[in-house]
């Protein structure tokens, strides 16, 4: 597939426009082990999705993860809710869910900060929290913690910053190499970097642990890391 053309305007990045149609191909080229992360979450779901359990996918995009989880847990009386603020993503999700004849996935078109969560067993943020402003994240994390049942889980995958400037430079260089090896042109790598300025604000690993702990989570385990991409399992 043709390399995704990115608007070079600073801070212009969003998931609307032409992005939804090319999202699945592009994200696998730009996020290391994207599908493998889904597989990890699928395996972890066995520990938290009991009978009558409820799961949320925050920023569900085209709903691939929820569809995978629904098929994996087929036969269990469970429900999945996908939330996305991009209408075109919701439209694509509905088509895919209908095509797969799945009945236990509900979609909500909304800004995450406005959501009132039901009591739930599993909440997933797969490279989504990083797109919220720093002031919005604690509020959302507190709502997530409060809404989870005891021993429920929050699975968080995020891009992270290096521990200092040197490590950040090294990680960025290796990440650029990764994207270029997947066919993303140097021009579009640079354009994407400009477009996400002020839109994607990753924290360091230390800062992520600190905010998760402050919002209530005490049991936190790393479940994935490759360069500056990391996954956490947080149990209430």
Q: Is the whole-model pTM more than 0.85?
A: yes
Q: What is the pLDDT of residue 26?
A: 81
Q: What is the pLDDT of residue 21?
A: 67
- Class of CATH domain 19-51+66-74+112-162+173-235: alpha beta
Q: What is the pLDDT of residue 6?
A: 47
Comparing CA positions, the residue from 219, 107, 111, 208 lying closest to residue 160 is: 208
Copy the structure tokens of residue 29. 């080229």
The owner of tokens 């429900």 is 79
Cα 128 from Cα 136, distance rounded (Å) = 12
Q: What is the pLDDT of residue 184?
A: 86
Q: What is the pLDDT of residue 179?
A: 92
Q: What is the pLDDT of residue 190?
A: 80
Strand order of the sheet with strand 120-126? 105-109, 79-84, 54-58, 120-126, 148-159, 229-235, 219-226
- CB-based contact 58:83 (threshold 8 Å): yes
**pLDDT (tens digit, 9 = 90+) per residue, 126-156?**
999 999 999 999 999 999 999 999 999 999 9
Q: What is the pLDDT of residue 217?
A: 98
Low-confidence ranges of the chain (pLDDT < 70): 1-22, 197-198
Q: What is the pLDDT of residue 38?
A: 98
Q: What is the pLDDT of residue 194?
A: 76
Helix axes 165-181, 186-195, angle to 10 degrees: 130
Q: What is the pLDDT of residue 20?
A: 58
Cα 149 from Cα 153, distance rounded (Å) = 8
Please list, residue by residue across 194-220, b when 16 or more beta carbons sit within 10 angstroms of its beta carbon and e when fewer do. Answer: ebbeeebbbbbbeebbebbeebebeee
Q: What is the pLDDT of residue 198?
A: 60
The owner of tokens 């979609």 is 107
Cα 139 from Cα 236, distance rounded (Å) = 17
**pLDDT (tens digit, 9 = 90+) per residue, 194-220?**
777 667 889 999 999 999 999 999 999
């Amino acid at each position: 597939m043709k390399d995704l053309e990115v608007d070079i305007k600073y801070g212009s990045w969003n998931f609307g426009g032409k992005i939804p149609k090319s999202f699945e191909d592009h994200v696998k080229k730009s996020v290391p082990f994207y599908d493998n992360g889904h597989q990890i979450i699928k395996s972890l779901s066995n520990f938290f999705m009991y009978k009558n359990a409820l799961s949320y996918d925050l920023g569900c995009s085209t709903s691939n993860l929820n569809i995978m989880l629904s098929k994996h847990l087929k036969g269990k009386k469970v429900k999945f809710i996908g939330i996305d603020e991009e209408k075109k993503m919701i439209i694509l999700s509905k088509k895919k869910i209908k095509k797969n004849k799945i009945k236990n996935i509900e979609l909500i078109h909304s800004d995450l900060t406005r959501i009132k969560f039901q009591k739930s067993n599993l909440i997933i943020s797969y490279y989504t929290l990083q797109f919220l402003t720093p002031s919005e994240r604690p509020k959302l994390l507190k709502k997530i913690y409060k809404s989870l049942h005891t021993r429920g889980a929050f699975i968080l995958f995020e891009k992270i910053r290096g521990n200092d400037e040197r490590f950040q430079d090294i990680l960025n260089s290796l990440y650029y190499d990764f994207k270029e090896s997947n066919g993303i042109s140097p021009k579009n790598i640079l354009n994407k970097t400009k477009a996400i300025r002020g839109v994607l604000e990753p924290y360091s690993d230390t800062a992520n642990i600190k905010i998760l702990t402050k919002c209530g989570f005490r049991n936190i385990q790393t479940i994935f890391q490759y360069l500056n991409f990391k996954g956490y399992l947080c149990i209430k």
